[in-house]
Amino acid sequence: MADHPSNKRSLDNDPLVDQEEEEEDDIGPMLPPPTPEQPRKKKRVLAHEKLYLSHLPAADMYEKSYMHRDTLSYVVASAKNDFIVTTSVDGHLKFWKKTANNIEFVKHYRAHMANITGLNISADGELLATISDDMSMKVFDITNFDMINMIKLGYKPKSVCWIHQQGQAQALIAVSEADTSKIHLYDGRAEGKPLHTIDNLHSQPVHLIAFNWRFNCVVSVDTQGMVEYWSPENPFDLPKSVGFELKSETDLYEFRKSKSTPTSLTFSNDGLKFVTMSFPDRQVRVFKFLTGKMIRKYDESLHVISEMQQAGTAIHKLDDMEFGRRLAVDRELEKSPAASFVNAVFDESNNFIVYATLLGIKMVNIRTNKVARLIGKSETHRFLNVTLYQGAPKKKGVYTLAMAASDNTTLKESEMVDPTLLTTAFKRNRFFIFTRREPYDDEGQQKGDRDVFNEKPSREEQTVAGTQERKQILGTHAILRTTSGDIHIRLLPDVAPKAVENFVTHAKNGYYDNLIFHRVIKGFMIQTGCPFGDGTGGESIWGDDFEDEVTREVRHDRPYTVSMANAGPNTNGSQFFITVVPTPWLDNKHTIFGRATAGMDVVHEIEHVRVDKNDKPYEDIKIINIEIR
């Protein structure tokens, strides 16, 4: 029967008909028109990021370290004169010269009779000033590495900063008092009388002063977190170069609001930004200088790092025991005066900030808001005060990023620059040098001793050095080459020296070669090391059984633990096993001397082979050899 024309809907002009085969009319509501695609948010990128990163240190481990007689406080470097200055809490100061691939010691001063509380280099890189609790300031000519002036202050100083322009006749320097809010201005080359005293800027002692020479402006911060901009010329008002009149237009009250105090304030090379590190909130903040607006904020607080560690979202996941140790050190640091040495600096491109954290030294791309690189993560030290050297010491001219980006083939020399990061560490009388070179060669062998004893070591350091030498002789890594694949083991000579010595010596002598895994229990462990292949034999390198080395430092709290097999207390010989699950019931019964770090798939492959009623695999799985590194 034909449809009644009044009940039939005309679809001649419906665009959906063109996309479908002809069919009976649908009854019901129509679908909404397709929504237009939302434009995707552009991903932030930094042009030439690879080039900028090539001008920053990349090695995970420090290449060299050098000593002071006491704990280091500051380290500063300048590419202008290729110099480095280090100071220690006992008042000593050392000058170093940057060479092509290292640094050379130049001169040593007993600059002060008490702790050096601050130092600063002038904008032209010609003058260095240090202040101390001995109520004095010393001025040095950097080019000639000479002390040129001594000023008795008559008060305990808190901070110091050169505030004169390059080429200015008068070397103006600002020094704040530790017990009052006063800031005194001196001529660093003249006698010790203050030229001016500023007492109306702050209400609390000023502990940070920084000079932006590009805009001829001084920024000071007091102990309550109040930030002030001022001109280095009388009447010391707010400079006209800045883009605000009232502080309420800025984010400079940020520290007062958060009840935190900046430990450092550093300007970018172009003077348009500055970065601060603050305690106790552990925030890294980046501000625009001209507007005083905060543009970046990075949370490095302990509770955030702990949450990321537990959730597995940290940039570098640490072993739980190592993380706990580092956490304890950082809590101690927070209560220590050494927290005031923690700083953050810009690289030469002004795109990256560099600062030390619990996990290592971070290099953060402030354009993309991402951690571009993390170095020093495998080191045990808690790094504090960092400085960057990005010059070219073996060339007479300055090698810039513009030169590196050019097509001039004569400038395309990768050896021209030697990016170097120098840093102090908590409770260490050494400073550490990170470059683009690892301290180990391609075969994993250390290139000489990276900890240079340029001072007479203390008795404690001599003991540590002896332990390190013993570790080098024994080896710290082993590779079990089996018929099923390789298993990598990190040895623990500090925890079980006798067990490691026994294992390493047997391995080097070929004792374990061609021995089988004679006992394999699924969901428990795999065992080897018996010369008879049945678990009844094996002796130590000393001929007799040796004693257990049980400690609370390491436990059977995780899989892939490597332990000595025994027949009871103090009966260790040559047999050992690798667990595949946590086995806490073995604690205090077996000596742990290693952890498997790679080849876990090989461990599980061996674990799942078919075995007889005595847990011996039907098909032999042999150790081909063991390589010690």
**104-116 pLDDT, tens digit each:** 999 999 999 999 9
| pLDDT, position 1 | 45
Sequence letter at residue 438 = E
Q: Is the pLDDT of residue 337 over 50?
A: yes
In angstroms, the CA 384 to CA 430 distance is: 12
Helix (H) or strand (E) run with residue 18 in it: helix 15-19
Which position has the higher pLDDT, 526 or 191?
Answer: 526
| pLDDT, position 420 | 94
- Residue 145's domain comprises 111-259
| Residue 56 covered by a domain | no
| Residue 229 covered by a domain | yes
Q: What is the mean pLDDT of residues 582-603?
A: 92
Query: Strands 344-346, 352-356: parallel, antiparallel or unpaired by DSSP?
Result: antiparallel
| pLDDT, position 368 | 92
Read off the pLDDT of residues 274-323 as tens digits, 9 standing for 90 and up.
999 999 999 999 999 999 999 999 999 999 999 999 888 888 888 888 89
Q: What values do phi and psi take at 351, rounded to 5?
A: -100, -15
Q: Final residue of a domain: which of 237, 259, 281? A: 259
Q: Final residue of a domain: which of 259, 286, 315? A: 259
| Residue 612 covered by a domain | yes
| pLDDT, position 2 | 47
| pLDDT, position 8 | 47
| Residue 488 covered by a domain | yes
| pLDDT, position 629 | 82
Dihedral over alpha carbons 510, 511, 516, 522 (to 10 degrees): -110
Half-sphere exposure of 491 (CA within 13 A, CB side): 28
Q: Is the pLDDT of residue 32 over 70?
A: no
Task: Locate 181 and state its tokens.
Answer: 């809010």
In angstroms, the CA 526 to CA 25 distance is: 71
Which position has the higher pLDDT, 407 or 120?
Answer: 120
| Residue 523 covered by a domain | yes
In angstroms, the CA 68 to CA 87 distance is: 8
Distances (CA, A) of 508 to 244, 401, 500, 577: 72, 50, 12, 19
In angstroms, the CA 460 to CA 453 distance is: 13
* CATH number where 193 lies: 2.130.10.10
Q: Residue with structure tokens 């008060």?
A: 155
| pLDDT, position 466 | 57
* CATH number where 497 lies: 2.40.100.10
Q: Is the pLDDT of residue 12 over 60?
A: no
| pLDDT, position 317 | 87
C-beta contacts of 153-157 below 8 A and 24+ residues apart = 153/184, 153/192, 155/179, 155/180, 157/117, 157/118, 157/131, 157/132
Per the prediction, the chain carries an average pLDDT of: 87
Q: Is the pLDDT of residue 480 over 70?
A: yes
Half-sphere exposure of 47 (CA within 13 A, CB side): 2
Identify the band that residue 14 occupies on the pLDDT scale cut at 50, 70 and 90.
low
Q: Final residue of a domain: which of 229, 259, 289? A: 259
How much is the pTM?
0.67
| Residue 545 covered by a domain | yes
| pLDDT, position 6 | 47
| pLDDT, position 29 | 62
Question: What total number of domains does the chain contain?
Answer: 2
Any idea which of 12-16, 120-124, 183-187, 621-625 has the lowest mean pLDDT?
A: 12-16
| Residue 36 covered by a domain | no
Closest to 561 (Cα-Cα) out of 535, 524, 606, 536: 524
Identify the band that residue 217 occupies on the pLDDT scale cut at 50, 70 and 90.
very high
| pLDDT, position 30 | 56
| Residue 296 covered by a domain | no
Q: What is the mean pLDDT of residues 570-575?
A: 93
| pLDDT, position 455 | 86
Active-site positions? 519, 524, 527, 566, 577, 586, 590
